[in-house]
Amino acid sequence: MDKVSEHRCFDGVQGYYRHISKACGGPMRFAVFQPPRARTHRVPVLYYLAGLTCTEETFVIKAGAQRIASALGLMLVAPDTSPREARFPGDADSWDFGQGAGFYIDATEQPWSAAYRMETYVAAELPALIAANFPAEQGAQGIFGHSMGGHGALTLALRHPEQFRSVSAFAPIAAPSRCPWGEKAFGRYLGSDRASWREHDASELFSRGPLGRPILVDQGLADQFLATQLHPHYLEKVCAVVQQPLTLRRHEGYDHSYFFVQTFMEDHLRFHASQLMSR
């Protein structure tokens, strides 16, 4: 692992790092915020998954999370959203597929399966790297994200409940099997068999039973993608059926931007802290 840069931030350290990833077939970048408490103790670690077109810098610069994380004693980890150096035909032809659009799944179709293995990266390889290089409390890991990253947070929490002990999302793609973004990505990464798509669709996964811990989701009602891409009502419906505790908050006037994410970031950090620090 190589240090790209480190910066003093709210009496903690905001750093950017680079390493060679086996899962993603080459170099990957990620960001880590270490709160002041990390100088003397192991601390809970919260993984943030960004959305389409984003990088490891997006959350760090736009979300306004470090001040509260510093006070709460939370480590924040933000990976990139896709491989960057392994290049494939058409990987930069559109903003919603390929580079910047890994969808936090392990691709099974060629050529993408050679490097687009973001589930393995986020759920296994990156946590192992964090454990080896930072004072993270491995028994207290949470995950959250925005848009495509909200989809990733929900599905990875469901698929790896032993890894992630808390989960929340901002404007998640709640039913990717039933929206254009998801159909495009899943069709190319996973192939035409829709049964495989359901394994990475939060609304489908919840139909098999509750996660066993509460979930917080915030959604802006002025979100330009709400009606066509996000579909939180599917998530709400299935959680009610299986009695999964879900707090789905709808907010008048808020769109899909990081102004929305900033507004409710403190709520999410406190939500995770209440679960990760009560164990």
Among this protein's residues, is 223 annotated catalytic? yes
Nearest to 198 by CA among 133, 66, 105, 73: 105
The single residue of 223, 231, 268, 272 carrying the catalytic annotation is: 223
The single residue of 147, 166, 168, 177 carrying the catalytic annotation is: 147
User: Tokens representing 78?
Assistant: 């933000």
CA–CA distance, 17 with 15 (Å, rounded to integer): 7
Give the dihedral sign, CA 188/163/226/50: negative
Q: Taking phi first (over 0 means left), then psi (-120 to 50 degrees means alpha), and beta for anything else, what does residue 8 get?
A: beta
The single residue of 200, 231, 256, 268 carrying the catalytic annotation is: 256
- Residue 177: count other Cβ atoms within 10 Å of its Cβ: 19
User: Is the CB of residue 199 less than 8 Å from the CB of residue 237?
Assistant: no
Sheet holding 43-49, edge to edge: 2-9, 12-21, 26-34, 75-79, 43-49, 136-146, 166-170, 215-220, 246-251
The residues annotated as belonging to the active site are 147, 223, 256
